[in-house]
Structure 1
């Protein structure tokens, strides 16, 4: 049986052009899941990650929002200055906050959301969650990266700082961070394992509760992420029988 799926395309006032998104499910806890590096809004569906959430979707436990990425126009766009890359990313953050989070809350009746993502999508999920802890109840980062400075060619400003979790977490003080359900999923042979261990140490230094989940014998790829995602969804309130 096909999952309940909706395609949405609208003119975004934040970025000044059309933006696309897939939405799965009819109700439940709202989850925004970001694609990997320069991935599209349909990537998580095509790679089978959404299918792993079938039980949760069919039983009304979650509603999943899959926005497009702007990576090719932000951090990965070497044709513009690092300052412009960082500035453009702030518009992506605003788009998610103002055009998708508000919609998800309205449609589901929840006052908090969950965010998730694999690889560079893990960066997006953690960065958004840690920037907006008051509206983020859960963060499921799978094989994420948390230091964006390799994309800025040595350039640094406030837009870089406030979108670089390894920099701003040590000074973070919002009490909501201590109430968030945070999972840093990685694998034994994951190229991003070191970044996850680093972020875990930063969170632990502030006594922010989290789970560093290192999967034995696994690599940085979709098979381990498809194991992780339904496991993490079971942590959501009311998500298990």
Structure 2
């Protein structure tokens, strides 16, 4: 399986970012790491290997960027408003730098976004904020309410990066065209977040699949079962 390492300077973030890219062609999939995970975490835990066939067949090309959680929502050393602003800059980096890069390399006008656990938040937030750029959203064990990281503080930046807050009022027509899969399981500590997001989507009559697996934990084994299944829905 072809693997390339990239390091580039982000003008939005004012720092270097690192990323692994798997494959040479196919539909672009932006795959985020879990909480405070690095750009190589999904490789290290076998998630990339679970979809080796899709990569080797040239069906998908996977981009695994850094998350910078330690500078944003997980940074308890700065004010919650600063955490939110740093994340807004991360979102701008995705929108203006990484996603256009992936679309250009793969010759498409939209991408798929995916992630496990807190990576599911990154994927869902980007997809719901920028649905014109996203055709497929695959979340595995995701959590979607960022207010748990803001110590009771709240402002517009937090609102517009908290999917369960801004999604109910969004009328972007692309949301009704997106392939949305929310993967969870009976023993998933984030099952409630997925059920709540599914309820919001149902209320708006946005088609999606709430995939509740059997007796599986919030952990890599079930995510490695989900990911190839979800990629098979890309057309």
Deviation sequence 1:122-176 (CA, Å, 0-9, x none): 0000011000000100000111001100100111111100111110111010000
Name which of structure 1's ranges 95-104 and 192-201 shifts more when overlaid on structure 2. Answer: 95-104
- Does 1:5 pair with 2:20? no
C-alpha distance in 2 between matches for 1:53 and 1:94: 28
The residue aligned with 1:195 is: 193
**1:69: how far off?**
1.1
Secondary structure of 1:149's counterpart equals: helix
C-alpha distance in 2 between matches for 1:229 and 1:201: 23
Secondary structure of 1:188's counterpart equals: strand
C-alpha distance in 2 between matches for 1:52 and 1:27: 18
C-alpha distance in 2 between matches for 1:11 and 1:165: 28
The residue aligned with 2:32 is: 34
The residue aligned with 1:123 is: 121
C-alpha distance in 1 between matches for 2:19 and 2:93: 12
| TM-score normalized with structure 2 length | 0.99
C-alpha distance in 2 between matches for 1:216 and 1:135: 33
The residue aligned with 1:59 is: 57
**1:11: how far off?**
1.2
Question: Any residues of structure 2 matched to 1:16-165 within 5 Å, and which?
Answer: 16-165=14-163
Secondary structure of 1:91's counterpart equals: helix
The residue aligned with 1:231 is: 229
Secondary structure of 1:156's counterpart equals: coil
**1:17: how far off?**
1.1
**1:97: how far off?**
1.2
C-alpha distance in 1 between matches for 2:89 and 2:185: 32
C-alpha distance in 2 between matches for 1:217 and 1:84: 39
Q: Which one of 157, 165, 168 corresponds to residue 166 of structure 2?
A: 168
Moved over 4 A (4+): none
Secondary structure of 2:100's counterpart equals: helix
Secondary structure of 2:216's counterpart equals: coil
CA RMSD of aligned residues (A): 0.5
Aligned length: 235
C-alpha distance in 2 between matches for 1:217 and 1:74: 33
C-alpha distance in 2 between matches for 1:16 and 1:84: 15
Deviation sequence 1:167-202 (CA, Å, 0-9, x none): 011101000000000000001110000000000000
Secondary structure of 1:186's counterpart equals: strand
Secondary structure of 2:131's counterpart equals: coil
| TM-score normalized with structure 1 length | 0.97
Deviation sequence 1:180-231 (CA, Å, 0-9, x none): 0000000111000000000000000000000000001111000000000000
